[in-house]
Amino acid sequence: MAQTEAPVLRLNTTTWLILFVAAMGFAFDIYAILVLPLILGPALNELGQLKQGTPAYNDWVGLLFYIPAMAGGVFGLIGGYLTDRYGRQKILVWSILLYGFSALGAGYATSLPMLLFLRCTTFVGVCVEFVAAVAWLAELFPNARQRETVLGYTQAFSSVGGLMVAGANALAVHFAGSLPAIYGAHSHWRYTLISGLIPAIPLMIIRPFLPESPEWARKKAAGTLKRPNILELFQPQYRRTTIVTTLMFACSYGAAFGAIQHLPRIVPGIAEVSRLPRPAQQQTVNAVQSFQETGGLVGRLILAYLAVRIASRRKLVRLFQAPGLAIVPLVFLFPAKDNLELLKIGIFLAGLMTVAQFSFWGNYLPRVYPMHLRGTGESFAANIGGRMIGTSMAMVTAQLSNIVPGATPAGKTANAAAMVALLVYGVGLLSSFWLPEPKEERLPE
């Protein structure tokens, strides 16, 4: 018997408000994550008196990238379970509060361990928010085409968040001397970190008044909502889905953290940039970062457009994986070392291929787990795969840069990033051949 298509949900004021809040939440999740590459060098210099290229510097680069991701992965997995157990909206509110105030505290860090701790709590909030928001939106829209469209375009605001943090850092660099002193100095990296609180304020105010996921609330009230169990993810009907999505999510994040997020440390090593004054170097880094984030935004928009036109999820993700396997390593092997203008084009394409995959997972995962496991399943792939395993590539790149050949520290980092990008893109593309296709367009109950 043919499956009846669910009706399209009419958008009212409350629904539009939910979409706005979800879009802003996605934007500032990425805002909170991508601020680190922009402030890393100045923070290590000020708080630890560390210089780029030294083993101690590279050790702290690895720690600040990976330890917060580990914390986010562990507590994000717990947050996914709590999302299934206590509701999507409640967990969203607390996650916003956590990363908003953590961003504020990080701007006042007095030591590297303090900065590391506050980056950990920021990451925890981000990891929980993503899972809860995706489940919330997916369950709000029963019509498959409408749901895919909503998830695709709201997640595109993540790349808007990347552009916003690049802009915030540029403003902080330019106006640092006019802003109130922190500990007797006008360090732009502190103002950039604190800016993460500003957009979180309206979200904190609005979110408590928004409704719970209607389907989750209905099942909870009727007493038919099953209790989530992480071990159920490895039962025969979900085992392949859990393993393959976790591995592929790890590869998506591995490309971002193992290659693209090292770019702010690579750009100042390009000859034409290294001759500029330090503020001008930072502005150049911001400009390159903007090209990458614009590419990511375009990639997310393309994904949102194609998600409702290509039925096969395997074919959809390979449209970004296959060209990325060729493009991303070459960007770091060649223009990242000596050609600023070509690097801008290359990193635009690298951002497009890599960041689009993040939106893919937000569309795919709600379709392969039932309601009582939706947050838990999404969280396992996103947090264990993406945040814990995938982001470990940042530490791999940092350590590889100590031993790979290269004329400068930045050149060594670029070579290491190219090697990591080739590895994770290759594994991700190969894994896609085992990615399960969703059985139906409706969300599984």
Query: What are the pLDDT digits (tens) for 312-347?
Result: 999 999 999 999 999 999 999 999 999 999 999 999
Averaged over 11-31, what is the pLDDT? Answer: 83
Quick: pLDDT tens for 352-363: 999 999 999 989
Residue 364 included in any domain: yes
Residue 86 included in any domain: yes
Q: Is the pLDDT of residue 158 over 90?
A: no
User: Which residues have C-beta within 8 Å of that of residue 179, sequence separation ≥ 6?
Assistant: 172, 186, 191
Lowest mean pLDDT across 91-95, 289-293, 307-311: 91-95
Residue 314 included in any domain: yes
Domain that holds residue 178: 15-434
DSSP letters spanning 362-401: HHHGGGTS-HHHHHHHHHIIIIIIIIIIITHHHHHHHHHT
Q: Is the pLDDT of residue 284 over 60?
A: yes
User: What pLDDT was estimated at residue 4?
Assistant: 61
Q: pTM here? A: 0.83
Closest by CA position to 386, among listed 239, 243, 296, 251 = 251
Q: Is the pLDDT of residue 442 over 80?
A: no
Residue 114 included in any domain: yes
DSSP letters spanning 120-176: HHHHHHHHHHHHHHHHHHHHH--SHHHHHHHHHHHHTHHHHHHHHHHHHHHHHHHHG
Query: CATH no. for residue 40?
Result: 1.20.1250.20
Quick: pLDDT tens for 374-418: 989 999 999 899 988 998 898 899 899 989 999 899 999 999 999
Averaged over 23-34, what is the pLDDT? Answer: 82
User: What pLDDT was estimated at residue 199?
Assistant: 66
Residue 443 included in any domain: no
Question: How many CA atoms, within 13 angstroms, populate the side-chain half-sphere of residue 105?
Answer: 18
User: What pLDDT was estimated at residue 220?
Assistant: 86
User: What pLDDT was estimated at residue 1?
Assistant: 40
Residue 270 included in any domain: yes
- Are 107 and 194 in contact by the 8 Å Cβ rule? The answer is yes
Distance between first and last Cα of the chain: 19
Residue 439 included in any domain: no
Residue 241: Cβ within 10 Å count: 20
CA-to-CA distance for 120 and 126, rounded, in angstroms?
10
Amino acid symbol at 315:
K
Averaged over 422-433, what is the pLDDT? Answer: 98
* Number of domains the chain contains: 1
Q: Is the pLDDT of residue 173 over 90?
A: no
Residue 268: Cβ within 10 Å count: 19
For helices 13-48 and 144-155, angle between their N-to-C axes, nearest 10 degrees = 30
CA-to-CA distance for 27 and 23, rounded, in angstroms?
6
- Are 442 and 144 in contact by the 8 Å Cβ rule? The answer is yes
CA-to-CA distance for 214 and 17, rounded, in angstroms?
15
What per-residue string of b and e applies to 415-436 under the rule 16 or more CB within 10 Å gives b? Answer: bbbbbbbbbbbeebbebbeebe
Closest by CA position to 7, among listed 142, 135, 140, 136 = 142
Lowest mean pLDDT across 167-171, 211-215, 262-266: 211-215
User: Percent of the chain having pLDDT more than 70?
Assistant: 98
DSSP class of 406: -
Which of 83-92, 271-280, 303-312: highest mean pLDDT? 303-312
Residue 97 included in any domain: yes
Quick: pLDDT tens for 42-74: 999 999 999 877 889 888 988 898 888 888 888
